[in-house]
Amino acid sequence: MKVIKTEIEGAVIIEPRVFGDERGYFFESYSARWFNENVSEINFVQDNESKSKYGVLRGLHYQLPPYTQAKLVRVVKGKVLDVAVDMRKDSPTLGKHAVVELSEENKRMFFIPKGFAHGFVVLSDEVIFQYKCDEFYAPGHEAAVRFDDPELGIDWKIPAEDLILSEKDKKHPNFREAILL
């Protein structure tokens, strides 16, 4: 596997070695030993999966202390634009974001450390999206920041009229009103 650094410290893209032939392909999507040696010492405790259609935007979500989460995300089917926003108040990249296209073709993964808001938009007809978390979901400690805050300047790569959001995701605060970590 190969680690590709982003412009934000700690947020990295992981590109697996894919072995393919006329039968199909094989790749190692996760190895605790490799991950701890090459990315971060971490203990993932929960795996999640979602299915969404074109235009669905989920995010930008994070959890507050003491339940902050690091995530390792990937696409099984389809394609997304995945975004991580630095919410760490003492970070030199506070408010900056890293973006990566994840797809069933490129098989890339994105590691998002604690202290980041996370979201994605579906670019294909349908997507199956998986993520590993190092902390359990804690509904009483949810936080989020508005996906279209002009201060963040995120280009979601699809027309605004095609976006599909939950009622909850339509009402998140702007970055300046969000809780920093």
pLDDT of residue 51: 98
| Domains with residue ranges and CATH for the chain | 43-177 (2.60.120.10)
Predicted TM-score of the model (pTM): 0.96
pLDDT of residue 17: 95
pLDDT band at 150 (very low <50, low <70, confident <90, very high): very high
pLDDT band at 147 (very low <50, low <70, confident <90, very high): very high
Paired tokens of 18: 């894919």
Query: Which of the following is catalytic: 30, 61, 97, 141?
Result: 61
Concerning whether 61 is annotated as a catalytic residue, the answer is: yes
> How many C-beta atoms lie closer than 10 Å to residue 92's C-beta?
9
Concerning whether 131 is annotated as a catalytic residue, the answer is: yes
Query: Which of the following is catalytic: 62, 97, 118, 131?
Result: 131
Average pLDDT over residues 9-18: 96
Closest by CA position to 1, among listed 13, 80, 76, 131: 13
Cα–Cα distance measured from residue 29 to residue 19, given in angstroms and rounded to the nearest whole number = 12
